[in-house]
Structure 1
Amino acid sequence: MTVKAVSFVAKSGTGKTTLLEKVIGHLKERGYKVGVVKHDAHRFDIDHPGKDSHRLTAAGADTMLISSPEKLALVKKHAASPPIEELLSTYFSDVDIVLTEGFKKSSMPKIELNRQERSTTLLCRGEEHDPSLVAVASDGKLELDVPVLDLNDADMVADFIETKFLM
């Protein structure tokens, strides 16, 4: 089974997380199980000093999982970021769709966000032509070879995802 996924890409400060929050809500209202992967080019830490999980990873655990009746969290050390395809197949077989934030260099289908006050150029239709671009969500008028969605209409973006990937 192939996991269905689409990546939201944009320049920093365009509103990827804000739009994703709204789109997730719309898809959940429609009954879909939604997974999310956030790409972080920097180091992050969900393990905090003083917590047992932090003590266990600090002691040398290569993989540490904390589980409760409501959720689980996995901390797994690795030398390099695993390919997104590996993450999807390993952790997301139980969802209808995975929305990712980032991964602009991947071959996954992409929706690029464009906020005109932030930038008039596109990542996927600028100097490079990314064939995996399936739509652009913008607050401006653009003439493109892919659908242009209203950046400020999360329901429209959810409709597009539902039609393109879930039906």
Structure 2
Amino acid sequence: MTQHIFCIIGKKKAGKTTFLEKLVPELQKLGLTVGAVKHDAHTFEMDVKGKDSWRLKQAGAETVVVSSPERVAMIQSVDRERSLEELAETLLADKDVVLAEGYFNSDQPKIEVFRQEAHDHPLCGRNNQQSKKLIAMVSNQSVAVDVPKFGLDDASEVAVHIARKYYGWVYSGMWATHD
């Protein structure tokens, strides 16, 4: 199955993470494997000061991997920010769907989450929806865009939209891929 990347975009406090929390299990219910990437425009620390992995990184290790029976985490120094496509190809190659929070300027298809309580207008409208590759709008308000519109609680419908549009899936009592 071909991997597809979708960027979940929206302004700060629009509800992107909340929507992603709903969308991930809905895609999994359809049998798709899902990976996620969170974009952070700032430097961040994932490790806890004083823990062994933090100490090894502070000692100069360029890459530190923490492994347990249930998880693997990697902290790696990089000379440049990796593109979304590079991250998907190298770290998430085994996933059918990669959901990226952010990456407004990437060339990947986008789903915008918009709540009018948080902002006056969405990032995408009719003037830029094609150039930004907007494929859906998730909102509690009517938004002037020419793409499918979904409510904030319609994650299952968004998952179906993705399965139909990007995987050619059809529904006739049960989901099946269309080959």
Q: What SS does the corresponding residue of 1:65 show, helix, strand or coil?
A: strand
Q: Is the 8 Å Cα contact of residues 139 and 150 (structure 1) preserved in structure 2?
A: yes
Once the two structures are superposed, the pairs formed by residues 27-38 of structure 1 within 5 Å of their partners are 27-38=27-38
Q: In the TM superposition, what is the alpha-carbon distance from 1:31 to its structure 2 partner?
A: 2.4
Provide the rounded CA distance (Å) in 2 between the counterparts of 1:58 and 1:105.
33
TM-score normalised by L of structure 1: 0.91
Secondary structure in 2 matching 1:112: strand
Runs of 5+ in structure 2 lacking a partner? 170-179
Aligned to 1:134: 135
Q: Distance in 2 between matches of 1:49 and 1:131?
A: 39
Distance change (3 Å), C-alpha of 1:44 and 1:126: farther
CA distance in 2, matches of 1:62, 1:164: 41
Q: In terms of mean alpha carbon deviation, does 128-137 or 96-105 score higher?
A: 128-137
CA distance in 2, matches of 1:126, 1:77: 40
| Partner Cα separation in structure 1 for residue 69 and residue 40 of structure 2 | 28
The two structures have a TM-score, normalised by structure 2, of 0.85
* Alignment partner, residue 106 of structure 1: 106
Q: What percent identity do the matched residue pairs reach?
A: 42
Check 1:45–1:131 CA distance in 2 against 1; reply closer, same or farther (3 A cut): closer
The question of whether the paired residues in 2 share the 8 Å contact of 1:34 and 1:95 is answered with: yes
Asked whether the 8 Å contact 2:10–2:123 carries over to 1, the reply is: yes
Q: How many pairs does the alignment contain?
A: 167
Aligned amino acid, residue 148 of structure 2: P
Distance 1:57 1:2, change over 3 A: farther
Preserved contact between residue 3 and residue 89 of structure 1 (Cα < 8 Å): no
Distance apart, 1:25 and its partner CA: 1.5
The root-mean-square deviation of aligned C-alpha atoms, in Å, is 1.8
Tell me the SS of whatever aligns to 1:41. coil
Structure 1 unmatched runs, 5+:
none
Cα distance in 2 between the residues matched to 1:159 and 1:3: 16
The ranges of structure 1 where at least 4 consecutive aligned residues each deviate by more than 6 angstroms after the TM superposition are none
Kindly indicate whether the alpha-carbon contact (under 8 Å) linking 1:39 and 1:102 is maintained by their aligned counterparts in 2.
yes
Looking at structure 2, the residues matched to 16 and 124 of structure 1 have their Cα atoms a distance apart, in angstroms, of: 15
How big is each residue's C-alpha offset from its partner over 1:121-149, in whole Å with a ceiling of 9 and x where there is no partner? 22122774534111111111223221112
2:96 aligns to what? 96
The answer as to whether partners of 2:105 and 2:132 remain within 8 angstroms in 1 is no
